[in-house]
Amino acid sequence: MAVAERLEKLAFEGAFGKGNPLRVLNATDEGKGDHFLSEIVFMQIDMIPNNGKIKKVPVVVKTQRKLLDPRDPFDRRTQFFNEATMYKNILPELGAVDKGLSPTLYYAEVSLKEDPENDIIVIEDLRPRGFKIVSELFLDYDHICLTMRKLGEFHGLSYKLKKQSPGRLQELGALLIPKKYPVLDGMHEASILRGFKSLIENSPTYSVANRVYKKISSKSATEFTSTLHRPEEPFAVIVHGDFNKNNILYSYDESGQVNDMRMIDFALSMYGEPAADIAFFLYLNSSPDSREKYWHEFLDSYWSGVTSIEANPGFNYNEFLKNFAQKAVCGYSTCSHFLPFSLNPGCLSSGKFSEMTPQQKIEFFENVGGEESTSAITAIVKHLLTEGYLEEYLLHFKFDPDQE
């Protein structure tokens, strides 16, 4: 069934409120097309309620990508299922929609069957209300502080539910299928080494940077990532899982000042470690200069958001900082892969990448973006070192939580 016909049927069933559909229109071709996870179209449903005045309902429609490769290393079908589950079950129960942290869901249907043609997610299109994605990679102070506070509110909703109904948050987390980490061994090591290389080549083998690099490189990409993201109480929350400016919509007042935001694209959400959201966003979307000047203000903004929702999340600010310090390196791990691509958009098509040999892929990750990218990810390692995060990770983070 075509998308327009599907929306008309949903409209008759009441998915968009009272009344009958007059027409279903293509809203715009902007952003339309084949995305990493799904196919996206922007539509508008014109409804005629009882008062006779036409109500325009702008929506974003996401459907499964056709011809999914059964060997798909990113397991996109599972991601689509998890995103639908977040919108349909988890975000409403957490209160994220009422809190204005995520778009309104109109309808979601998804299965894990071979034929995904009926899978669909229909959410509110926020663009007519002035929300938009920021084009700049590195955000300014106001955007970052607002984002960190809102992220704190989002995580705070998890702590609030823990207090109200112990065990319920883990039940919600269990609705999400654990994600499969793509096999990136070789590419993972190349990306990790790139930011450490200048530091370990110019320091003794017993230096913190050398020892941390050895600790990281002793594990496979899957083991390293999964252990850093595992839930640990009392800190564990429902995380966004891919929290960066590409999955955030901002709105502005008449003077152009950012005043609100919404999170979108929850395909990688899980019950896990809040540092994964915090560190990925801050290291990908803040410049080295802003990190040097405002890092602790950014973390303060996050904590203010948490405590505005739940005054006693089960730990104090210093305990939060200690936990974050041990796991902030997870932000480097992700950024070492994605920051070079973000600095050089369009540098490689997925088709061309799939045609590379394993060795060519490794060499590509070693060099993509040239010196600019190397400097950017090295700056993250230097910041981790300066803040003492590498030492905290080295001394206190355990791959096996039961080890002495």
Domain limit, last residue, from 125, 160, 179? 125
Domain limit, last residue, from 125, 160, 192? 125
Stated pTM of the model? 0.94
First to last CA, the chain: 58
> How far apart are the C-alpha atoms of 33 and 62, rounded to whole Å?
10
Which regions of the chain are under pLDDT 70?
1, 29-38, 66-74, 114-115, 181-185, 349-351, 402-404
CATH number of the CATH domain containing 30: 3.30.200
Kindly state the DSSP code that residue 314 receives in the 8-state scheme: S
Tell me: do 39 and 91 sit in the same domain. yes
Tell me: do 153 and 121 sit in the same domain. no
Contact 331, 380 (CB under 8 A): yes
Domain limit, last residue, from 125, 154, 172? 125
Kindly state the DSSP code that residue 222 receives in the 8-state scheme: H
Output the pLDDT for position 30.
Answer: 58
Tell me: do 114 and 150 sit in the same domain. no
Three-class DSSP category at 324: helix
Our count of domains for the chain comes to 2
Angle, helix 187-201 to helix 329-343, in steps of 10 degrees: 100
Output the pLDDT for position 356.
Answer: 86
Output the pLDDT for position 185.
Answer: 66
Output the pLDDT for position 33.
Answer: 46
Three-class DSSP category at 52: coil
Using the Cα atoms of residue 227, residue 334, residue 375 and residue 299 in order, give the sign of their dihedral. negative
The dihedrals phi and psi of 292, each to the nearest 5 degrees, come to -65, -40
- How far are the Cα atoms of 200, 286, 343, 374, 379 from residue 290, in angstroms, in the given order? 25, 6, 17, 19, 12
User: Whose CA is closest to 301, among 155, 146, 154, 156?
Assistant: 146
Tell me: do 236 and 98 sit in the same domain. no
Tell me: do 224 and 118 sit in the same domain. no
Contact 243, 302 (CB under 8 A): no
Tell me: do 222 and 261 sit in the same domain. yes
Tell me: do 165 and 222 sit in the same domain. yes
Is 403 part of a structural domain of the chain?
A: no
Output the pLDDT for position 34.
Answer: 45
Spatial CB neighbours of 327, under 8 Å, sequence gap ≥ 6: 228, 273, 275, 276, 279, 393, 397
Degrees (nearest 5) of the Cα angle 24, 27, 33? 110
Output the pLDDT for position 277.
Answer: 98
Output the pLDDT for position 194.
Answer: 94
**Which domain range does residue 88 map to?**
20-125
Tell me: do 114 and 165 sit in the same domain. no
Using the Cα atoms of residue 30, residue 261, residue 245 and residue 81 in order, give the sign of their dihedral. negative
Tell me: do 254 and 365 sit in the same domain. yes
Is 3 part of a structural domain of the chain?
A: no
> DSSP alpha helices (H): ranges in 125-167?
141-164
Is 11 part of a structural domain of the chain?
A: no
Spatial CB neighbours of 147, under 8 Å, sequence gap ≥ 6: 139, 245, 248, 261, 281
CATH number of the CATH domain containing 192: 3.90.1200
